[in-house]
Amino acid sequence: MRGVPTGRPRRTAVAPRGRAAPHGAREDVRCAPRQGRPPRIGRMDVVIAGGHGKIALRLARLLTARGDRVRSLFRNPAHADDVRAAGAEPVVCDLERVGVAEVARHVDGADAVVFAAGAGPGSGAARKDTVDRAASVLMADAAERTGVRRFVQISSMGAGQPPRPGADEVWAAYVKAKGEAEDDLRARDLDWVILRPGRLTDDPGTGRVTLAEPPVGRAEVARDDVAAVIAALLDAPSVNRRTLELVGGDTPVAEAVAALSSPL
């Protein structure tokens, strides 16, 4: 069972108000503000920002394989087929160019937002701010506007800390942007989780991790395992308002997340 009962039936797709939705119809989203609502039972509706990223594609596959709906936001229209192949609904949305009203239309009706966007290793310092910080702020604004309480932010080890001696300008801008995005999220009345993975690899996932509040220590973690942890966190609403670090380890993902749900 996922989430907490709300007493209302789940909307999977609707027609214009006053008419029944045909089977398979897409949801008619609105950007009007609404009261925050807890996650619902059964099929979840998840929006992933940065939907063409390596972790995002893995996460979309996991979520859709278990029956969840995924809407993936990404900038480049050429990536739509990749996103669709992962099971997600492709939504072309350049988070560096749009405002909160447009993003809210894409977020409205969701149970959770996952911020997986990043400027990428080939970008300069300026885009670390516009993507890694400002786009996260924008997604959180849209979540608040539409009443989506669950927000998982993929951050980075070292976020908000002074860069190591000799670090280049781009890395310094990156950890600064990630730190400011974390601070913004912590100040909000959302059910947020900040996840800081270690050095990412494309190795096959082991399904075993070390997941805890900082400091965990720097080490590698497979992107497969990062996606698995996020999927498990979406099913664990009691784990919220926590900053977590994640590296490879010995604890099965489900047990690692369940341990965080236990009373301290």
66-114 pLDDT per residue, tens: 999 999 999 999 999 999 999 999 999 999 999 999 999 999 999 999 9
Q: 45-261 adopts what CATH topology? A: Rossmann fold (3.40.50)
Tell me the pLDDT tens digit for each residue of 128-137: 999 999 999 9
DSSP calls for 181-219:
HHHHHHTSSSEEEEEEE-EEE-SPP-SEEEEESSP----
pLDDT of residue 123: 79
pLDDT of residue 264: 52
CA distances from 52 to 11, 64, 157 (A): 26, 15, 22
pLDDT of residue 71: 99
**Residue 118 neighbours by CB distance under 10 Å:** 24
pLDDT of residue 262: 62
Q: What is the mean pLDDT of each run of 10 residues along the chain (264 residues)?
A: 41 38 36 42 90 98 98 98 98 97 98 94 85 97 98 94 82 93 98 98 98 94 99 97 98 98 65
Question: What residues act catalytically?
Answer: 174
Q: Two tokens at 87?
A: 């099971």
HSE on the CB side for 127, CA within 13 Å? 12
pLDDT of residue 42: 67
Burial class (CB in 10 A: 0-12, 13-18, 19+), 264: exposed
Size of the chain, expressed as the number of residues it contains = 264
pLDDT of residue 45: 99
pTM: 0.82
pLDDT of residue 21: 39
Q: Hey, where are the domains in the chain?
A: 45-261
